A and B are shown apart, each in its own frame.
Chain A
Amino acid sequence: MGGLFVLAASAAGSLPLGVTESGNWFLRNAWLIPLLPALSFVGILFFGKRLPRGGSELGIAALGIALLLSVCTGLAWMSHRDDYHGQETHLSVVAVDHDGRAADPGGHQVHGEPSVAVTNTVTWFQAGGVEFTAGTLVDGPAVMMLFMVTLVSLLIHVYSTDYVAGDRRYTHFFAFMSLFSASMLLLVVSENTLQLLVAWELVGVCSFVLIGHWWEERDNSDAALKAFLTNRVGDMGLIVGVTVLFFAVGAARPDTFGSFSIVETNALASSGMLPHTTLLIAACCLMAAVMSKSGQFFLHTWLPDAMAGPTPVSALIHAATMVVAGVFMIARLYGVFFEGLSIAGTSINLMALVGGFTTLVGACLAFVQRDIKKVLAYSTISQLGYMVMALGVGAWTAAMFHLFTHAFFKACLFLGSGSVSHAVHSFDMKSDMGGLRRVMPHTYRTFMIGSIALAGLPPLAGFWSKDEILAGTGGWGLLGGTGGNGAYTLMLVMGMVTAALTAAYMTRCVYLTFFGEYRGHGQPHESGPRITVPLWILAGLALVAGFANLPKGFQLVPESLQERFGHYVEPVAGYFPQVTHATPSWSLAMVSTLVVLAGIGVAAHYYFVRVARASKAAGQSLTELPNGPTTRLAVARLGHTLLANKYYLDHLYTGIVAGGTKGPVARFAYRTNQEVLDRAVDGVGRTAVAAGRVVYHQIDQKVVDGFINGSGQVSIDSGEKLRRIQSGKVQNYAAILFAAATVLAGLLIVFV
């Protein structure tokens, strides 16, 4: 480690990183947290089947201890953040930029009271004179993620013991849940991008394995493959981006030719030591990774299919943790994105646009789903879009806060849907649910809490984080502007529209599931305590998590309770860009609440009033009006068809992108053939028949046929000869291989 960093005082032109190697024991030993589930993975794999509860107790124990450690780490971080300033042990890095100018530490002012992250690294391996390190970087976002991941993971483990009880691969399931938790925890404490990449791929593999948990059904294994392959597309972006950054950092540092260190990359990027074009390229490549992992438009198509996995997997991996890995990666390398995409001072950029578009697209799609889990999946896409959009407009804290609150209420909703499906043995809201609020009171209540939190009504969690994002766009000029990093009015509008849509589709979902009359078969029943207790804990968190970050200037609480989350989570250090914070505004909060209420009102009017009345009239529980807008209005029908086919994106990928242009080309050729050529040929043909008769006997039979037969014979003969090469005998192939390789080598030697 010492070779990579030098102390601040020792050299001029060095850049302070805001990182120290000393600190509380918990902060230095955060590597224990991912290690525990990793050990439990190995333990379950080898001894799981012999344990009385099939290995689940190992996973739960490991995560319980990990949660305890995370909480201790969190508390240690809070006191470290408040008390420790340790400037004398700051690490820093010597750098010159591409024009040869040395870094100017004075030019990189830290905004506000600095935070000092704690790092602990060891040399992983050495190659080509570069030390590759592995280690932990513990700061606000890492601590927050550690807590969130261990807590949600523990609850979902407990839930799973009931949900997958009796499954034939029970042990296997828990082993991979453990491995997943370990990889995700490794990802959040990663000190360098190489380690991040490793963890990133590991979570991808776990996701693949768990989506395909019931691989005997073709659909499930297809979904797993689709998830994996779509993620591969983005992973290439990650690999390229990381490599670009590696060499970019090397170019700025006289003492080495590359570095994967996250803090160095960020510090150099945010102090303007890296060329803007390089950062732009890297940011775009990394964006591709985010788009695939975090389900951003147009690589989001795998996420709804990933619901083929068991529900706890959907809740843990495809809603609360893994899919936010992309968002977290942006947050981690925020210096790169902030400078590369020029987030400050503009009104549009790639990330904000992708996020804003995704949030709208996902919310629209959630309307037309019959499958309750797919509603939640599209909702997840939409909310991830919200986070990416927030990062795109520079509202870093808001994005992290939304990530935090979203994990709780979305996990709660997913587990609620799992509890419902456990009872009715189906995910289809229209044919198998309805009226469940009476038989499943706990699930109903927690689901309602989660829905309201997701819709964003005060004072539940979703309201606070969503409102912060909207304020952070800086687009709200009315009644006392909010002053974000730029004037992202378009993103504000997208966010508002999505808020209304979210409220509406959650109302639809709640109605179809819990209201009306039961449409399925059998007797649904409330799930057991191992399912309802985690539900209540998550619902409780969805209720109160929002208070962690009450907005600054919120007059109802003392100042010491405002912006606690932002204070502890957002780094104020050399490795973090200088973002401008938006001031929250009462008017915006009120307007957004009104928008949400309007969304709920419209949907409630449709379902709770009109559909309910129609149901009574029809004497059965309907799920939509018999002559609703989709049957009456052509525009609505068109929109519904478009949404029901997911904007035809899957068709685009399989039909056009994968199948090449052969479809249209073939059709065009066919039409040309039918209409143009055929007629021409017909005409020509008729006149030519007479002449043809003469020609036929003379030329055709003798010359042309002879030629054609001859060429056919040649190809048969040559094929027959070539067939012998294809003897199936390995040694013949080897002989050809050896001979060809030798000849080629000889040619190389002679001519090169």
Chain B
Amino acid sequence: MSVVVLCAALPGLDPLTGGEVLVAQNVAFAVIGLTMVAAALRMVTTTNVVHAALYLVIVLAGAAGLFILLGAEFVAVTQVLVYIGAIVVLFLFGIMLTRGSYGTDEDVGRERHLMAALVGVLVLGVTAGSLVDTFRDAELARSAPSTAAQIGDSIFGQYIVPFEAISVLLLAALIGAVVVARSD
């Protein structure tokens, strides 16, 4: 546990500005972050598909926690409701209906894992490198969390067209899913 605290404190120890260190938030971040990474890693490596779905739940819940930390409460609630409440259930149904995959997913060759890992590391390297280079020590200083009212204003005002587009997309996906999965 002490390692966790140490990790948490590290980003907060700002040697350049010596600004206020929000220890509690950083601790929370470290706990959530490490849990998410661990769960994500287990999710993509476990051979049991149902377990993978449960690990996904952990990652998604962690993301919701991060959203609360970032002051985006509405998004966090949506994340829990939609992702954990609906999408994961959908996944579980998918697993149940495709019985061939129920249970274990046997491993594939080393070559394939190596290739995937290589690409993953490459992606991480380039992204992380450019992020560190670009944002360095930019501070998050949010004065107040955003409210649902603000988001509603924004969606139904400025972003009404994308919103309508998304609703059409959802409808199309709904119909498409029905058509594709229909048994006759």
Contacts and interface: CB of A to CB of B under 8 A. Distances in A.
Interface of A: 125-127, 731, 735, 738-739, 742-743, 745-746, 749
Interface string B58-86: 00000000000000000000000000000
Contact of A738 (B123, B129, B160): B123
Given A735-B115, A749-B130, A127 B123 contact: no
Given A125-B160, A738-B119, 15 more contacts: A126-B158, A127-B161, A731-B112, A735-B119, A738-B122, A738-B123, A739-B118, A739-B122, A745-B126, A745-B130, A746-B126, A749-B126, A749-B129, A749-B130, A749-B133
A742 B116 contact: no
A743 B160 contact: no
Contacts of A749: 126, 129-130, 133
8 contacts: A125-B160, A125-B161, A738-B122, A739-B119, A742-B122, A742-B126, A743-B126, A749-B130
Contacts of B122: 738-739, 742-743
B181 to A, nearest CB: 19
Contacts of A125: 160-161
Nearest to A732: B115
Contacts of A746: 126, 129-130
Q: How large is the interface on B (under 10, 10 to 19, 20 to 34, 35 or more residues)?
A: 10 to 19
Contacts of B118: 739
Interface of B: 112, 115-116, 118-119, 122-123, 126, 129-130, 133, 158, 160-161
A590 B24 CA distance: 99
A308 to B, nearest CB: 30
A745 B133 CA distance: 14
Q: Which of A731, A742, A743 has the most CB of B within 10 A?
A: A742
Closest CB pairs A-B (n = 9): A746-B126, A749-B130, A739-B119, A742-B123, A742-B126, A738-B119, A735-B119, A742-B122, A125-B161
A745 B129 CA distance: 11
Nearest to A736: B119
B41 to A, nearest CB: 18
Contacts of B133: 749
A469 B123 CA distance: 69
Q: Which of B115, B118, B119, B160 has the most CB of A within 10 A?
A: B119
Contacts of A743: 122, 126
Contacts of A739: 118-119, 122
Contacts of A127: 161
Contacts of A735: 115-116, 119
A127 B116 CA distance: 42
Contacts of A731: 112
A133 B123 CA distance: 45
A154 B133 CA distance: 69
A42 to B, nearest CB: 15
Nearest to B123: A742
A738 B121 CA distance: 11
A417 to B, nearest CB: 41
Nearest to A748: B130
B119 to A, nearest CB: 5
